[in-house]
Structure 1
Amino acid sequence: GESAPLNTLQAGVCSGSLQSCTGGAWIDDYSGVSGYEAVEATCDEQDNDCDSAVDEGLTSPLVSSTLPFDGSTAMPLNGSVTIIWDKNVNCATVNTMNITSDSPGWELSNCSGKQAVFSASGQSGETTYSVTVTTAVTDTSGCAMDTNYQFSFRTNLSTSFSIIEPDGSGDIVTAGDFYLITYTLTDQDNVSTAAFYYDTDNEDYNGTAITGICSAAPEGVGVPCAWDTTGMIPGEYYIYAITNLSGSGTARIWTGGGTDTLASNSANWLDNSIPQSGDDVIFDGTSVKDCNWNITVPIHSISLNPGYKGTVTITSTLSLSGNSVIADGMLITGDAIFYGNGQKAYSPGPITIN
């Protein structure tokens, strides 16, 4: 019998490959060539399409953005970290060995398409943490990142808060009079307020809210807050306060306009943009559709306002630096963890109301 001639293409993986006889004629046959690709699709430093060029048309993945972005400050403690590439990545290469951080509790939360989300725990305030995306990360074609990509961010500077008065020395008023609570509240990174309460003891923080200006007292050093003691039952009371960070992000309103209930679907939000770090998330009468909160970006607040009749189910770790308000609907947290940056402190002594 006649020996099979060589295939037309003999470069790369096709070297030495032979034609096959079909219908009485010799034709090119690359079906048995290991690694052959009609169009180069695998980034493996081989000439898979046998055209004397290696991995042509294939490019390395690049980090296109991160949350937090490089150099971010005032980030909530234990917030999520999101990395976005310019193309789909091989999630098998996205792990804590190939993407490292000096943050404690560094764990991969999820990876899909172009995006990966990591979580952290046990972070300290006023601390800079770095993240390094190494060249071990590849895209779905096997192309590795050309160089390491590093970014860093700083956690929120600690809020300084203390109550100066009452200190138990000469703090005596008659019910119905005003008493000046004196306090110090400073925050270099955010706008903070303090909500004051009165309590019959100085433990457990289970007292009664003081209304008026003392419900959201502003920052200041040695500044007063006037408490109207009208209606107070005579007795001895301690004062305490809990600080809150004011929102500085965008209000994101849920509409449920998408085909699913996922918070990660931008079509479900009024501005077609999913919540970002520091945003205030609002569910109101705009929609009664349920929401599956499947994103881990650290937000400022979440509010289920009057008119919202749906259910928000938290299926990820929700990092929250401000308040959660549930006026309507239902919030199901499951195994979610709420992180807050508020501080609280009791007065050094009691006030006596006659």
Structure 2
Amino acid sequence: MTDTSTTPPPPAGQPPEGGNTPAEDEFAGIPSSPRRHPVIAVATAALAFFLLFQIKDDVRYALSSSQAQDLGDARRLAATRIEDLPLNRYVRLSGMADRESAVVLDTQGSWNFSQFFRLLGTNNRIFVQRSPDPLTVEQARQDVFVGRLMPFSSLSFQEAIRKHFAGRVSATHFFVPARMHQVLLAHEGGSLDITDMLGDRVLLAANDELVFEVDRPGEIRIDFPRVRFVDEVAVRMAIEREGGRLIEVLADHGDPKVLAVVVDFPAERRDQALHALSEAEREMRIRPARRSLRVRVADVGATSEGITIKAGGQVQTLPLARIQAIDTLATVQIPDDAVILHEGERPSGAWKTLVVGLVLLGFAFVNLLALRRRDL
């Protein structure tokens, strides 16, 4: 008879027959660490890539050549399209700084001030942000600028700068009289589009003012030092002693230490009289007399004989030979394709940004790798 009954299990704590007790897994009861939710991992990686995108220009600049690319004269560079400029590169260029309309920046809230100005003859296309003060002797002595060339639109405060220059900064523009005459001959009214002596294009509205410096034939301006000539009476006596005539005392000449007058002398005695006056007072300044005429653009015209101006209801013709200077004040309009050179910014100085970029890149890949492990 066959026994088909099963062998009962051994009592608790007693090893089974014919074998040893298997080792228990001491970590079996420890719960596994919670895995990062895939949405969080993706969002973290996306944030890292976004931050990396924001500093991509700085990373590229850190990896670029530390040898400055010589671009030559800024006026020639201004004729180049912005697409053809070596942007985000270490460059060198030369140009005449317009310090008349320069501003001083302290963008970091510290006491590190830097100059910010345009280069003349570039149609307001090229600006320079100088290294923080103090400048070296070499930097202050010559107008050669070395640094990072960037689009003007890359400035975080570009809108504020554009608004400031357009509303508060005026630059003086000088025009060649012969060129002004040609433009006025072809002018049909309205605004006046003309290029100044440095090559900058200036657009003048009908109500903008032009200042004409015109010779006064046969008349001489003399600046008498007030130390010896205290009033008009003393000046008149000195002039009449040499056979001259006092025509006008200039009130607004800008120097309180002198008394400026306009005089004339008989042609045959002019040289002798001026020599006698200059010998009597060495600090006296003698020069041809000029008259400043302020005229609206709408009141300026031209004929074959010269430039015409309308003043007091009368039209006066100014021969080109008598016009010594023409100038105006105009606000600085910054075009969309303007660029800025950050002086002193070298590629080697951007190594910290490169380190940050590597950290962000590693952070993004760690989170993406966590997603892959979860799938496995």
Q: Flag the structure with higher helix content.
A: 2
Q: Taking structure 2 as the reference length, what is the TM-score of the superposition? A: 0.22
Q: Which has the higher contact order (CA 8 A, sep 6+)?
A: 2
Computing the radius of gyration over CA atoms, which structure comes out larger, 1 or 2?
A: 2
Q: Flag the structure with higher strand content.
A: 1
